[in-house]
Structure 1
Amino acid sequence: MRTSLIERFLRTGEETWDGAGSGRFTLAQLNDDEVYTGATKTALRTLFRLLADLLPAEAQEVPQVGLETIRASIGPMVKGLVERDWQEVALRELTARTFVLNFQGAKAAVDAELSTCFMGTAWQILWALFGDYGLKPEEINVECDGVSAGDFAHVRLSAYETKDPYSDVIVHESAHLLHYLKPEHYGLHVRRGQERFVDVEFCHRELFAFACEAYSRVVRHDKRKSRISFAEEMKERAFSFPRDRIEEVAALVLNAARARNGWRVIREATVIPRVRGRAREFSTYP
């Protein structure tokens, strides 16, 4: 394969074939794609190692955030939103598929993403990690606190360590997995009309994730009065949420805090409307 094509891809991320978009590819083009894939994976791993050498030794030695920590963060959300007979599988899968991007976590996350057919997320992980240490080129923008592209969820270290009392980006990114992953892929019985663990409206996916994130902090307060008081202060005290979304998110979180089952409030505000039928069974979490 021509070196110029590989170089262009590594610099710009653009992969251009003659006849691209036609749906018709020659054997030579398919072979080129295989070479592309191998070259970019090698380049990414090499760059990761080179940049790792520039990190402080203590940053490289910090262990990956443990599964028990992730499970504890997302447990209330899963139990509040997912059907009873799916909960244990959902909790297992979300826990295993969520990574916090310290050095060790990012290494594992890159390996996980490179096991799929898509490499764009692996590059985002690389720059999310090294950007937190000032090792990212200025022309590369990494403005997000996390990445969830379908199979895995990734939380930027700086977002994980935020002091915002309403923020839990582990919950936010794992919430996206709930509307990506399909129960039938894990051998679960799927009721007619439901495809994902939580079938969230496309236009409400960010509202869903932000509300889950903040409400997971609300339910840490034992008393209903303290939950409501904490939720009422969100609009003024939450500083890591997008300012153009804060009113909408805070209003939904407050409604959830006032309700007997707040997770149901979030679910009903964001899922795809369904034809009326037999009620589904959910845990009654606050």
Structure 2
Amino acid sequence: MGTADDVQHFLRTGEHDTHCRAWPGDRLERERRAHEELRRALVEEVQRRTVTRPSDERLRGLDIVALTRRKVAPMVRGLFPALEQGAVISLLEKSVVFLTPTNISHVLRQSPWLSTAWDLANLYLLSVGGELLGEQAPLLLGLSEGTTCYVSLSYFDETFPFADYLVHEAAHVFHNCKRRTVGLPETRRREWLLDIDYRKRETFAYACEAYSRILETGGSRQARMALADDYVASAAPCDERVSLSEVVEFVREAAAARNGWKRILARCAPPTSAGTRASVTEATAARRHGPEDLGGPPSPTR
């Protein structure tokens, strides 16, 4: 058995000794026992903090697959060639997991990483009004791991018109999943579903999120540009991982373009390939639409 201090430290911070030295046995046995005990403690603590919370009924009768398909299909069609769209949509439509009182314990036990389990525990506690596990707990509304997108039930209460963290988390799957995972051909230069600069992964997700909402309500270029202006005026800076000016710049460029998804992808491509593509798209935008006054903050953080 690990020490009580080890368990409490994990519950407060999500951190643990990677060598699991407080547990007996060889390294593999120590890791197995530690992970089992820490997960059990995490589940029990989450249950203790939500023991009086009623089950949420917002998912009753909801077709999550259909909802996800409707939300992600425009993004997939804008980013992938027609022959690949079916495989990518099929992957994403089964990727979303809403964290609920019914499934939270199972999710915490099955999450591959203890640190992720701790983040998911806090994501869930935040959604049901429970006390977070520690002062440094992230204020998350969604989290992606591999090809799974965990989403808070707060999704159904969101009032910010440019927020859609289901789309935000789905956008992260593109750089988490290899092409061969969904049966698409893979080459040395095309290993992942999309080639996105590591430093701009959050920027890409935020831009896709806002642009998806603009497309949902803006039926013309003029309407999309007006919505993009509203986004710039109403969004609040709250994520240190992104360049605020870049996000709104990319969203406004996307709103003006025929295929805004491709514009966002080009601006978030790795340096080795972004230069040529970005310069071409920027020059095209300038010829078609003229210069734009770009600036402002993006939408709320996950």
Which range, TM-score by smaller chain?
Answer: 0.7 to 0.9
Whether 1:198 and 2:226 are equivalent positions in the alignment is no
Task: After superposition, give the CA deviation of every residue in 1:77-120 in whole Å (9 maximum; x if it has no partner).
Answer: 1111133333222222222222233434xx26x63564353122
Gaps of 5+ in 2: 277-302
In structure 2, the residue matched to 1:82 is: 80
Which string of whole-angstrom CA distances, capped at 9 and with x for unpartnered residues, describes residues 130-154 of structure 1? 2233322462523233222334222
Q: 1:241 to 1:231 in 2, by over 3 A?
A: farther
In the alignment, residue 249 of structure 1 is paired with which amino acid? V
How many percent identity over aligned positions?
27
Q: TM-score, normalized by length of structure 1?
A: 0.80
Describe the superposition over 1:194-223 as per-residue Cα deviations: whole angstroms up to 9, x where unpaired: 111111001111110011001101112212
1:124 aligns with 2:122: no
Q: Which residue of 2 aligns with 1:146?
A: 142
CA contact 1:147–1:154 (8 Å) conserved in 2: yes
Letter matched to residue 38 of structure 1 = E
Partner SS for 2:150: strand
CA gap of 1:17–1:130, structure 2 versus 1, over 3 A, is: closer
**Does the aligned pair in 1 maintain the 2:13–2:136 contact within 8 Å?**
no
Q: Tell me the distance in 2 between the aligned counterparts of 1:28 and 1:156.
A: 38
Q: Distance in 1 between matches of 2:20 and 2:117?
A: 27
Which whole-Å CA distance do the structure 1 matches of 2:19 and 2:193 have between them?
A: 40
Q: Does 1:212 align with 2:191?
A: no
Residues of 2 paired with 1:249 and 1:50: CA distance? 40
Q: Which of these residues, 202, 212, 230, is aligned with residue 227 of structure 2?
A: 230
Question: Aligned pair in 2 of structure 1 residues 18, 208: CA closer, same or farther (>3 Å)?
Answer: closer
Q: Does 1:35 align with 2:36?
A: no
* Bigger mean CA offset, 162-171 vs 145-154: 145-154
C-alpha offsets along residues 236-267 of structure 1, whole Å, 9 cap, x if unaligned?
02347649744321211111111111111111
| Aligned counterpart for 2:164 among listed residues 168, 188, 194 | 168
TM-score (norm 2): 0.76
Secondary structure (helix, strand or coil) at the match of 1:179 reads helix
Q: For residues 8-27 of structure 1, give each alpha carbon's deviation from its aligned partner in whole angstroms, at most 9, with x where no partner exists.
A: 4445433326699xxxxx97
Over the residues paired in the alignment, what is the CA RMSD in angstroms? 3.0
Separation in structure 2 between the aligned mates of residue 246 and residue 102 of structure 1, nearest angstrom? 32
Q: Structure 1: how far apart are the matches of 2:195 and 2:108?
A: 24
Task: Identify unmatched segments of 5+ residues in structure 1.
Answer: 21-25, 277-286
**Count of residue pairs the alignment pairs up:** 266
How far the C-alpha of 1:159 sits from its partner, in A, is: 5.0
- In the alignment, the residues of structure 1 paired with residue 222 and residue 19 of structure 2 have an alpha-carbon distance, to the nearest angstrom, of 64
Query: In the superposition, relative to structure 1, how do residues 237 and 44 fare at CA in structure 2: closer, same or farther (>3 Å)?
Result: same
